[in-house]
Amino acid sequence: MSKSCTNLIEQIKNEIIDHKTIRPKDNVPQSFISSRMSAISFSGIRRSFDLAQKIPGLISLGLGEPDFDTPLPIREAAKVALDKGDTHYTPNAGYIELRKTIAKKLELENNITTNPEQDIVVTVGGAEALFLTCQVLVSPGDEVLVSDPAFVNYEPCIRAAGGVPVFVPLDEKLNFHFNAETIKAKITPKTKGIIINSPHNPTGHVLNRKDLEDIAALAIKYNLFVISDEVYEKIIYSPAKHFSIASLPNMFERTITICSFSKSYAMSGWRIGYAAGDHSIIEQITKLQQFCGIHAPSFAQRAAEAALNNAGEWLKDMVTEYNARRDFLVKAVNEIPGLSAVTPDGAFYLFVNAKSFGRPSQEIADHILNDGKVAVVAGSALGKHSEGYLRLCYTVPVPKLKEAVMRIKAALAKLR
Ligand code: PMP
């Protein structure tokens, strides 16, 4: 890569850093900022997103969001809602029509029986559902078990509630399996709950029924709550199947199931998700939502209802496309000297072992960005025990993936 291009990337990086950290410090006296904030850092993934926005010709395998447009029937439903004047406040828990449609879906697809009047709250994406759930369930000092690596939001959500995330390292040799035995080893008298995520971001690992039965047995024995993040439930590759822990005996009352429209229906910008669980917990989440977001956007809720009613065929095509990309990328990455990756069963991420380079993963990611103009996420941004890995999202079509792989290979050849 030319010197001028490297300089441009450096300049853009500096601008982003200026904007994110220096300007707020200049404008707002540090003393105003609450002590809680010192426990929370910016997400390393947003950094990758910000860079991708600004560098010409860059291929982003960084941010985990679908590249598909939201299917037409969903967009049409939002337009109809807007034209009908669906632009006012809705109930805090979301329109009852949407909650009833979600209840039907949970019954048919997740084997979870809910009362839509009380057991479901529609939220501003899965992210808000996670944040509010942690606020409701976690008290200061409570320990919550989380996999390492994990989705970047879990740690800040737990910390913002005053809790302590306790990380359970995942072992690549065990296919990144979040298993009951390793979880059990981390349980202490302070452990209050556990966050599970299947299909898993960033490893793509899928927990099967037996895995979930084992985790459920632990949760019951030690009286733990379970936050089950199922936002990738639809992006799963045969023969793997999605299974919801809340459908197991005696688990509904201790589980909050979190789902989203962002990934399944390519609706990341619409900001619609939901939490389902026992009415006493959902009531508290709804109460808190009343005092922050108030509710999810009105016309987006109507669009979400249309998504559940209309998007069957589209979903099949989308998963077939992700499956083809996964197959291509797994093979191509394993052919790059120094890299290896196990085949994921779900989501749209490949968690790639780059330990043979003997360098910090952020340094490798930065080199790939500077030299090859491909954005990837460093494993260190996803967990302390995940140093040496890179996360690649296959949210671009195969021809672009091919180009990205060529550039990564060429860049890494210079590091060896
Ligand atoms: N959970 C996981 C595991 C995720 O990867 C994400 C988004 N990347 C979310 C929740 C939140 O998604 P959203 O708020 O768009 O529904």
pLDDT in tens, 68-108: 999 999 999 999 999 999 999 999 999 999 999 999 999 99
What is the pLDDT, as a whole number, of residue 63?
A: 84
Q: Which atom of ligand 1 is nearest to the CA of 151?
A: 3
* Residue of 189, 254, 262 lying closest to 228 (CA atoms): 254
Q: Which atom of ligand 1 is nearest to the CA of 126?
A: 16
What is the pLDDT, as a whole number, of residue 4?
A: 47
Alpha carbon of 230 to ligand 1 centroid (Å): 9
The amino acid sitting at 115 is N
Dmax over Cα atoms in the chain, in whole Å? 62
Ligand 1 lined by 151 (C-beta under 6 Å) = yes
- Pocket residue to mutate for ligand 1, from 201, 382, 393, most atoms within 8 A of Cβ: 201
Alpha carbon of 127 to ligand 1 centroid (Å): 6
Ligand 1 lined by 193 (C-beta under 6 Å) = no
Percentage of residues in the chain having pLDDT higher than 70: 92
Query: How far apart are alpha carbons 211 and 215 in whole angstroms?
Result: 6
> ∠32-166-177 over CA atoms, to 5°?
135
Backbone angles phi, psi at 273, to 5 degrees: -150, -170
Model confidence over 321-357: pLDDT tens digits?
999 999 999 999 999 999 999 999 999 999 999 999 9
Q: Which atom of ligand 1 is nearest to the CA of 200?
A: 3
Ligand 1 lined by 149 (C-beta under 6 Å) = no
Is residue 284 scored above 90 in pLDDT?
yes
Ligand 1 lined by 125 (C-beta under 6 Å) = yes
| Distance linking the first and last C-alpha atoms of the chain | 17
What is the pLDDT, as a whole number, of residue 55?
A: 84
Burial per residue of 111-142, b for 16 or more beta-carbon CB atoms within 10 angstroms, e otherwise = ebebebeebbbbbbbbbbbbbbbbbbbbeeeb
Ligand 1 lined by 231 (C-beta under 6 Å) = yes
Ligand 1 lined by 148 (C-beta under 6 Å) = no
Is residue 386 scored above 60 in pLDDT?
yes
What is the pLDDT, as a whole number, of residue 10?
A: 59
Is residue 110 packed enough to be buried (19+ CB in 10 Å), middle (13-18) or exposed (0-12)? buried
- Pocket residue to mutate for ligand 1, from 49, 151, 256, 265, most atoms within 8 A of Cβ: 151
Question: How many Cβ atoms from other residues are within 10 Å of residue 107's Cβ?
Answer: 13
